Amino acid sequence: MNKVGQIFFAVFLFNAATLFAQAEKEDPNLKLWYDQPAGIWEEALPLGNGKTGAMVFGGVKGVLFQLNDNTLWSGFPDPGNNENGQKYLPLLRKAVFNGDYDQAAKYWKKMQGPYSARYLPLGDLFIDFKFLDQDTVPSSYHRELNLNNAVSTVKYKLNGVTYKRESFISHPDQVMVVRITADKKNSISFNTSLSSKLRYGVSANANDYLILKGKAPKFVAHRASVPEQIVYDENPTGEGMNFEIHLKVEAEGGRVESDGNTLKVSDADEVFLYLTEATSFNGFNKSPGLEGKDPSKEAKANLENAIGKSYEQLKNAHVADYQNLFQRVSLDLGLDKEAVSLPTNKRLLRFNQDEQDNQLQALYFQYGRYLLISSSRTGAVPANLQGIWNPHVQPPWGSNYTININTEMNYWLAENTNLSECHVPLFNFIENLAENGAKTAQINYGIEKGWTAHHNSDVWAKTSPTGGYEWDPKGAARWAAWPMSGAWLSTHLWEHYLYTGDKQFLQEKAYPLMKGAAAFMLEWLIEDENGYLVTNPSTSPENVFTIDGKKYEISVATTMDMAIIREIFTACIRAGEILGNDNTFTEELRKAKAKLYPYHVGQYGQLQEWFKDWDDPEDKHRHLSHLFGLFPGGHITVENSPKLAAAAKQSLIHRGDESTGWSMAWKINWWARLKDGNHAYKILESGLNYINPSQNEVQMSGGGTYPNLFDAHPPFQIDGNLGGTAGITEMLMQSHAGEINLLPALPDAWPSGAVKGIKARGNFMIEMSWKNEELVKATIHSEKGGNCRLRTNIPVKVVEVSYKKAAGVNPNPLTRELKNPEFVNNAKGDLLDLNAAKGFVIDFMTEDGKSYTVVPL
Ligand code: FUC
């Protein structure tokens, strides 16, 4: 072979090898697909690069891409701090200690501030195949979202011509690209336009280039029922974000013309649409009107970059970037051929008829990972209540950051499903909150140390208590009187360290923020008459308690408050020990931790939610915040605190399974932590209950899944998707209790399967397969070295190195503290039998970068 021949052959081999490797990795069933265009938003398919979002409707005559930019919010930095707080806090505390909970709630209402800003829709890209009749019906219509490469494809045959539209949103090139092809020359003709639900104007920059310039309102009321719902600054350079969308159309063959605000494509062979957008958002503390970035510059630069590249270049870069994250994990729970031959919406309905469809659950698991990759990437703001996808100017709950559960839940899958990088936008957001939250601590509470945040936030990193919704000024305290989210969010930083072992991150980024959150808590806690450290005021998010038939919101030391404080204090003490440089502070924390108001097991054997045993076993409220210590916290475990775990189980039984989407996702995680795979599965199964997309009103129970597999609260919230994926992972593997537990909560419905690439604390990567509900083989890849403590349901051996039965505390520093928290038992009867702490536990030493094979003995 001559040299050219050799090179050619080598290139051929290389390409064949990469193609083969790709084909091997690409699972043909990792697709959502439909035989109809989307008629309703919850049928459309989401694309995103962490910043730009699009919902692909995939029509035939009219083609809609509903667009978002995750920095486009109403308003401007508006801290909303309330100095009245300092005046009323002592009065409120006194009222609470005197048992006058009603008066306490009245005082609280004088201490809070306004609601958050709203996440807004950017605009619509519309393609009108105007030559078609309204009722032109194509044959063999197919619309899909391929999770293997984050590309959406629409394909159909019309008048003998096969049309195909491929679309994706690239993270590396910050552009949305749509490619339209036909298998017959000169068959593509359409008009395309841009519009927005906000104030806007469109003009043509050239024959093939449209620019939409828009302005966001400075105020949007939470609900349409309020007068003056949407307020614009009449001065175009005044408050409210500016934004732009740039669209360029390139056609092969045919013509592209413009009539001012529409682009007209005629008789083309192939067409490319490039769309970029930007807002004037210039950081959480800068006015977007007065100190904003120029959106024109950014949108134009991204567009110019994109059109300088070929479609293949753009697509390859997009796919490589996406697959680098997505392909780290695979999950096989078995395949039902009949099920995968059906469109996804019909599969959901089939599954609801009690038909087995394990691949649908694997698809749902991977969809959660897809959604996080698409909504939370480096350099962007974190995923909000709807990720980055929102068509409403007044979205439910403002599509804000609801940080008393929903935002945290968005990130529960980040570490254990091997998407650590996608966690980073949350850390940057926490940094912003810490800056604003130090002022809230000072102004609202007179606390000079540390920082706090309350239950709602927005792109402006609001930390003040956001009071009653505008239509409901009465019922605010039970959600707003809750300065706990700084501490909760800070545990995410610690978790990132436990998974990665990145000491520099711990030292430079995590610890200062964690310390600030803990320092606030040291000041916030006060001693009660028995010498316990308690929180006052204290709420159990959004729930109320009843005394003599009367409902109250505020009291003392709710179980969740104390659990969050336990977690952040423990994390700071551990971090202080590892970094070895903050002894005085860690000593202070140790002392305070020993005096925290303990857990109580109540009269019904339940984990007591409130300061006193006011719990109602009939209460079905969606929040079960008092189980925080079981999950996402890790200080209540089946192995180390079985009585508390049993009480948590009793509380779960009282509350029941059915609830809103996110609440059910939380319950999957709790039942997994209780090692009850069948119960976790039962909730996962009902969470996949088909919800009719035309039902979009807010409901406080009855969660499920829309045709596009978006989680339904209802309405759509992304937390349930992401929390569901986290829950499936917890069913397969857990690592919170100082050990890696393989198959801790495997349901009977998944007798055989395999998972690859999930992560455990200590920076271990896990691959394993199982059959007849028993482990067949596991490979543990150690990325950081250190002791690996492994719990399995059957006795196992490690092939490469010696191992021994585990004893004492796990010496690996990347594990959790395992002390059983103190508790008081007021239960009348026996606690539930948990049948806990099963299995075999071994220790073996690992080296950084090596893999270890574990097989049955
Ligand atoms: C909390 C929850 C609601 C909803 C909202 C966004 O208020 O109680 O169920 O998820 O956040």
Q: Both tokens of residue 471?
A: 């239509």
What is the pLDDT at residue 820? 82
**24: enclosing H helix or E strand:** helix 3-25
Tell me which of 717, 719, 722 to substitute to probe ligand 1's pocket, judged by most ligand atoms within 8 Å of the beta carbon.
Answer: 717
226 pLDDT tier (thresholds 50, 70, 90): low
Q: Can you tell me the mean pLDDT for 353-357? A: 94
Q: How many CA atoms lie within 13 A of 589 on its CB side?
A: 26
Ligand 1 atom at minimum distance from 479 CA: 7
> For residues 417-455, b (16+ Cβ closer than 10 Å) or e, as one string?
bbbbebbbbbbbbbebbbebbbebbbbbbebebbbbbbb
Instruction: Give 100 or 816, the one with higher predicted confidence.
Output: 100
- The C-alpha atoms of residue 398 and residue 223 are separated, in whole angstroms, by 9
Average confidence (pLDDT) over 180-191: 97
For residue 238, CA distances in Å to 69, 234, 280 come to 20, 7, 12
CA 455 to centroid of ligand 1, rounded, Å? 10
Whether a cis peptide bond, with omega within 30° of 0, leads into 715 is yes
Q: What would the mean pLDDT of 155-160 be, rounded to a whole number?
A: 93
For residue 488, the CA-to-ligand 1 centroid distance in Å is 17
CA distance 719 to 409: 6
How many angstroms does the Cα of residue 660 sit away from the middle of ligand 1? Answer: 9
Pocket test for ligand 1, best of 392, 472, 542 (most atoms within 8 A of CB): 542
Contacts of 40 (CB under 8 A, 6+ apart): 693, 694
Q: What is the 406 CA–ligand 1 centroid distance (Å)?
A: 7
Distance between CA atoms of residues 641 and 783, nearest Å: 30
Strand order in the sheet with 753-760: 330-332, 753-760, 764-771, 774-782, 851-856, 796-798
- Among the residue ranges 120-124, 375-379, 781-785, the one predicted with the least confidence is 375-379
Report the atom number in ligand 1 closest to the C-alpha of 660: 9
Q: How far is the CA of 409 from the centre of ligand 1 (A)?
A: 12
- Per-residue model confidence as pLDDT tens digits over 572-622: 999 999 999 899 999 999 999 999 999 999 999 999 999 999 999 999 999
Q: What is the pLDDT of residue 474?
A: 53
CA of 702 to the centre of ligand 1 (A): 14
Q: Has residue 696 got a pLDDT over 80? A: no
The pair phi, psi for residue 156, each rounded to 5°, is -160, 165
Q: Which atom of ligand 1 is the closest one to the Cα of 396?
A: 6
Mean pLDDT of 835-850: 91
Test site for ligand 1: of 118, 390, 401, 402, most ligand atoms within 8 A of the Cβ = 402
Rounded Cα–Cα distance for residues 200 and 195 (Å): 7
Per-residue confidence (pLDDT) for residue 23, from 0 to 100: 44
pLDDT for residue 329 = 98
Model confidence pLDDT, tens digit, residues 826-841: 998 878 877 666 899 9
pLDDT at 11 over 60: no
Tens of pLDDT, residues 726-744: 999 999 999 999 999 999 9
- Ligand 1 pocket (Cβ < 6 Å) reads 385, 397, 402, 406, 542, 622-623, 660, 662, 713, 717
Q: Which of the four pLDDT bands, split at 50, 70 and 90, describes residue 228?
A: low
Mean pLDDT of 498-527: 98
Q: What confidence category does residue 163 fall into, taking pLDDT thresholds of 50, 70 and 90?
A: very high
Q: Given pLDDT bands bounded at 50, 70 and 90, which one contains residue 467?
A: confident
Mean pLDDT of the chain: 94
What pLDDT score was predicted for residue 499?
Answer: 98
What the chain holds in terms of domains, given with CATH numbers, is 31-75+116-327 (2.70.98.50), 378-597 (1.50.10.10)
What is the CA(838)–ligand 1 centre distance, in A? Answer: 36
Residue 853 token pair: 């094979």
Q: Give the pLDDT mean for 663-683.
A: 98
- Give the tens place of pLDDT for each residue, 626-662: 999 999 999 999 998 999 999 999 999 999 999 999 9
Q: Which two tokens stand for residue 222?
A: 């939470």
CB 722, CB 412: distance < 8 Å: yes
